[in-house]
Amino acid sequence: MAHDKNKHQCTMHGLQHWFEAKFEKLGWMALAKEHGHELSVRSYLQSVAHLKECIKDKWNSVHDSDRKDDLKIMLEHTQTLMTAAHKLLDAKLESSSQHKKHHSTEQHDATFYGLHKWETKMFEKLGWMVLARNEGNSLKIKAYMETIHRLKAMLMKKMSQVEEKDRKDDLKILYDDTCILWRAASKLLGKPEGMGSITHKSMKKTSKKTKKSTHSMKSISSMMGGFF
């Protein structure tokens, strides 16, 4: 069901940031499609369409000619992005099920650095997901929750692959932090069907009250201090 795109007003700065983010994300969506993450792809396409409508609304509401010119350029560029995105991502969306082997246990490998950056992005996005829920954007929320679920699976896979104790301990900290994020997101956004029971089993097996909990809290504090 389509969400109400006019529930909040966008500032020029907000539109510019959103505009830039959609361009920067297109390449990652090609990778997401290749690995069968259809929900993320559909959420991206929906977001670009939403952006286009918000730019139109802003153009209609402003009176300054220079600002109108800027918005017109952004609108034209967004249309170009939308055309390119559909050309790239629509073609094989329906047949992407052949890649579903990547989606669960046989996911593509990730570096430790990549996993850390991925987790950071998920923490940063939670506040935006609250806004998405308020707007009724269930597709974006489902994609977000699914991504956290995949991150947890990737962290567990990486822990089983590494042998170095310090690296394994770091991965356990990342995993525990991601479990905290999952619980927070579930409380704020609601649990997606079919994921709750799997997640709780994983948390019970891996979350232990040891000294790494202290490191975990330090990690969160550092993250919060760095981004807010």
Asked if residues 153 and 203 have their Cβ atoms less than 8 Å apart, the reply is: no
Report whether pLDDT(211) > 70: no
Most confident of 91-95, 105-109, 174-178: 174-178
Asked if the model's pLDDT at residue 95 lies above 90, the reply is no
Q: What is the pLDDT of residues 4-43, one digit of tens each?
A: 544 456 899 999 999 999 998 888 888 788 878 888 899 9
Could you tell me which residues come within 8 angstroms of residue 26 by beta carbon, excluding any fewer than 6 positions away?
81, 84, 85, 88
- Measured CA to CA, the distance from residue 78 to residue 172 in angstroms comes to 41
- Percentage of residues in the chain having pLDDT higher than 90: 41
Domain ranges within the chain, ordered by starting residue: 8-100, 108-221
Q: Residues 137-141: what's their mean pLDDT? A: 89
- Structural contact between residues 171 and 158, judged by C-beta atoms closer than 8 angstroms: yes
Measured from the Cβ of residue 151, the count of other Cβ atoms closer than 10 Å reads 21
Instruction: Find the mean pLDDT for residues 71-92.
Output: 89
Give helix 38-61 / helix 138-161 axis angle, nearest 10°. 140
Question: Is the pLDDT at 57 greater than 50, yes or no?
Answer: yes
**Amino acid identity, position 152:** K
pLDDT in tens, 113-137: 889 999 988 988 888 888 788 888 8
* Tokens 């308020």 found at: 134
Predicted local distance difference test score (pLDDT) of residue 194: 58
Provide DSSP, 139-174.
HHHHHHHHHHHHHHHHHHHHHHH---HHHHHHHHHH
Residue 213 confidence (pLDDT) above 80:
no
Q: Is residue 111 very low, low, confident or very high in pLDDT (cuts 50, 70, 90)?
A: confident
Looking at this protein, which amino acid is placed at residue 146?
E
Rounded to an integer, what distance in angstroms lies between the CA atom of residue 166 and that of residue 172?
10
The reply to whether the predicted model has a pTM over 0.85 is: no
- Is residue 86 within 8 Å of 45, Cβ to Cβ? yes
Give the residue-averaged pLDDT of 192-206. Answer: 48
pLDDT higher than 50, residue 96: no
| Band (209; pLDDT cuts 50, 70, 90) | very low
Q: Are 121 and 151 in contact (CB under 8 A)?
A: no
